[in-house]
Amino acid sequence: MKQFTQDGNVYEFPDDWLVVPAYDELPFFKHLSGNQAIMAKGCDIVAVCGDELWLIEAKDYDRKSMKETRPKSTELATTIARKGFDTLAGPQVGSRYQSDSEVADICRQAVNCKKVIVCATIEPSTAISSNHYDRQFLHQIREQLKRNAAGYADKVYVTQNRDEMAWKRWSSRKDPSSR
């Protein structure tokens, strides 16, 4: 298992997945998002499984350090769709300019993927959370994200740590040290 912490949550991916955590923090991608570049915004995690490229955005509104309030579902879906679209430019650049050979190899494999999947993992604040409200919020994001990412994504998923779905082949849980 590949394990790492991202935005207050611990993720564990199967060994057959190629995973780049904190993708949007890599030097080559930060160069794309800098003032002299295209102002790209990237997803937090990029993963390759077979011929699938997974663009995963992690949002945790339940961390003590989280100063950001939860946006409206339409705003969040638009932001995630934009990040997914911008992230697609990264593997082409990373395959050439990433100094870490493992990440450069994952970027090369990402370029050759046949399917693009956008996934948002969203942990709502327990201070205002109710199961019904959370499900409604996640459903609204999923529907808006499907529309916004229709031009480039083959599939769109929205999930939480507690969800166990057939398509979700990794696990995630809250990191107690960030609470």
Inter-CA distances, 112 with 23, 77, 89, 121, Å: 18, 26, 13, 25
pLDDT in tens, 7-26: 889 999 999 999 999 999 98
Check if the beta carbon of residue 10 is closer than 8 Å to that of residue 173. yes
**pLDDT above 60: residue 129:** no
Higher pLDDT, 155 or 161: 155
**pLDDT above 60: residue 138:** yes
pTM: 0.91
**pLDDT above 90: residue 175:** no
- Residue 118: strand pairing partners: 55, 156
pLDDT at 35: 58
